[in-house]
Amino acid sequence: MRRPRLALVPGEPAGVGPELAVAALRRESDADLVVFAEAATLARAARVLGTALTFHDSRADRAQLGDDGVRLVEVPNVAEAAFGSPDPRNARSVVLALRMAAEACMAGEYDGMVTGPVHKATINAGGIAYTGTTELLAAHAGCEVVMMLANPLMRVALATTHLPLRAVADALDGERLERTLRILHAALRGDFGIDDPLVAVLGLNPHAGEQGHLGREEIEVVAPVLERLRAEGMRLDGPLPADTAFLPRRLAATDAVLAMYHDQGLPVLKYSGFEQAVNLTLGLPYPRVAVDHGTALDLAGSGRADPSSMLAAVAACARIAGVRRTREQQR
Ligand SMILES: NC(=O)c1ccc[n+]([C@@H]2O[C@H](COP(=O)([O-])OP(=O)(O)OC[C@H]3O[C@@H](n4cnc5c(N)ncnc54)[C@H](O)[C@@H]3O)[C@@H](O)[C@H]2O)c1
Ligand SMILES: N[C@H](C(=O)O)[C@H](O)COP(=O)(O)O
């Protein structure tokens, strides 16, 4: 079977993304990578790592590539931003690279997309309203998605993603939550091969609302959805108090945790395994896997950024792309 062909988008040029992309390109992996970025930015990152790259057309044959060969779709930047100092003038090219890769994935030219970190504030400062790549790809594909981060110890999906904490309670909606659980369930089955997954669903409030004395979202929004889906046969635990849902013995029996908001779930996951964690966008027509960390501006240009999450993202995307291709061939 042919190796999965993946679009690799390094992200913010002034961050660690280009260095991590070079690290991924120089490692043996189960995928053929095509980078959507600027050649000069990648060449600069390669120099930081004490290596050099030669650039080829995105369709170049593997045999044409030496150890230093890179297939590239060139996306030029406006400014050469110093390491650690993102330039808002590059916002357009950072987003364009993501859009071009998404377009190519939608057209079936690639089997999946791997992304490095972008700097959300800089993109907004550049005049592009942007909350996250998850949301951008969902809008581009015209579908609902679920953000899920995973490391070897746990999978944590989010009912709401990038929004102010003040807006979270209002954003929780039964119909949306039901769709989130369906997307998560389908991905655990299809992409992860878990036939009958058990999902632990957290409450929103302390102690999962303490029977309505500390908030009513558990009673009015979460529990009715869980009842409906349990009636269909889904295995769902909850709404659970978030403070004890991550105890190791509970996690051991759980295939994924659904947190109600970003910082309810992600600090636990990142604390328990920052290096090996990846960020997946579930529900897209193609697999998209990202690093679990940000632009690490303090490390950009130092060559000290740890490439583990990027390597894990490439491996996860290649694996899921392979699973999906096998499934399609069996249809
Ligand atoms: N996948 C993404 O695109 C993504 C993910 C998270 C944050 N971000 C964005 O990144 C920007 C900076 O965010 P932040 O400072 O909160 O988080 P960050 O992850 O960039 O940095 C947090 C800490 O982790 C360290 N770190 C991060 N990646 C590392 C690596 N590969 N190796 C070693 N150490 C590493 C940094 O040096 C820093 O000390 C923000 O604009 C944020 O929105 C993007
Ligand atoms: N929420 C993610 C995290 O904290 O790791 C991160 O911001 C990236 O999300 P996008 O892939 O949607 O940009």
- Quote the ligand 2 centre to 292 CA distance (angstroms): 7
Same domain as 209, residue 106: no
Same domain as 256, residue 125: no
Reported as a single tens digit per residue, the pLDDT across 219-254 is 999 999 999 999 999 999 999 999 999 999 999 999
The pLDDT, as a whole number, for residue 100 is: 98
Same domain as 28, residue 122: yes
Cβ–Cβ < 8 Å for 13, 300: no
* Average pLDDT for 293-319: 97
The pLDDT, as a whole number, for residue 164 is: 96
**What residue type is 271 in one-letter code?**
Y
Q: How many separate domains does the chain show?
A: 2
pLDDT at 186 > cutoff 80 = yes
Specify which residues 8 forms β-bridges with. 35, 114
- Rounded distance between C-alpha atoms, residue 119 and residue 219, angstroms: 37
The pLDDT, as a whole number, for residue 136 is: 97
Reported as a single tens digit per residue, the pLDDT across 250-295 is 999 999 999 999 999 999 999 999 999 999 999 999 999 999 999 9
Ligand nearest to the CA of 150: 2
- Quote the ligand 1 centre to 232 CA distance (angstroms): 40
The pLDDT, as a whole number, for residue 209 is: 97
Same domain as 106, residue 78: yes
Same domain as 267, residue 322: no
Reported as a single tens digit per residue, the pLDDT across 115-172 is 999 999 999 999 999 999 999 999 999 999 999 999 999 999 999 999 999 999 999 9
- Quote the ligand 2 centre to 301 CA distance (angstroms): 22
Which residue puts its alpha carbon closest to atom 12 of ligand 1?
A: 294
Cβ–Cβ < 8 Å for 240, 203: yes
pLDDT at 1 > cutoff 80 = no
Tokens of 254: 């759980």
Same domain as 263, residue 165: yes
- Rounded distance between C-alpha atoms, residue 331 and residue 327, angstroms: 6
Across the chain, the runs of DSSP E, i.e. the strands, are 5-9, 32-37, 54-57, 69-74, 112-115, 146-150, 155-158, 198-202, 235-240, 256-259, 278-282, 288-291
**What residue type is 285 in one-letter code?**
P
Reported as a single tens digit per residue, the pLDDT across 84-113 is 999 999 999 999 999 999 999 999 999 999
The pLDDT, as a whole number, for residue 257 is: 98
- Rounded distance between C-alpha atoms, residue 153 and residue 159, angstroms: 20
Instruction: Indicate which CATH number applies to the domain containing 239.
Output: 3.40.718.10
The pLDDT, as a whole number, for residue 62 is: 81
Same domain as 279, residue 152: yes
Is the C-beta atom of 299 inside 6 A of ligand 1? yes
Same domain as 103, residue 17: yes
Same domain as 159, residue 99: no
Instruction: From the CA of 310, give the closest atom in ligand 1.
Output: 31
- Quote the ligand 1 centre to 208 CA distance (angstroms): 30
120 is in an annotated binding site: no
Helix intervals (H) in 142-212:
165-171, 174-190
Is the C-beta atom of 155 inside 6 A of ligand 1? no
The pLDDT, as a whole number, for residue 323 is: 95
Residue 9: give the domain boundaries.
Answer: 1-143+285-331
In this structure, of 37-41, 63-67, 76-80, 146-150, the range with the lowest mean pLDDT score is 63-67
Same domain as 235, residue 317: no
Residue 321's Cβ-count burial label (10 Å; 0-12, 13-18, 19+) is buried
Which residue puts its alpha carbon closest to atom 14 of ligand 1?
A: 294
Choose which residue among 98, 114, 293 to substitute to test ligand 1 binding: the one with the highest number of ligand atoms within 8 A of its C-beta: 293
ipTM exceeding the 0.95 mark: yes
Same domain as 158, residue 124: no
- Is residue 224 reached through a cis peptide bond, with omega within 30 degrees of 0 on the bond before it? no
Ligand nearest to the CA of 296: 1
The pLDDT, as a whole number, for residue 176 is: 97
* Average pLDDT for 22-40: 95
262 is in an annotated binding site: yes
Report the pocket of ligand 2 as residue ranges, CB < 6 Å.
132-134, 262, 266, 279, 290, 292
Same domain as 156, residue 66: no
The pLDDT, as a whole number, for residue 170 is: 96
Choose which residue among 145, 279, 288 to substitute to test ligand 2 binding: the one with the highest number of ligand atoms within 8 A of its C-beta: 279
The pLDDT, as a whole number, for residue 29 is: 87
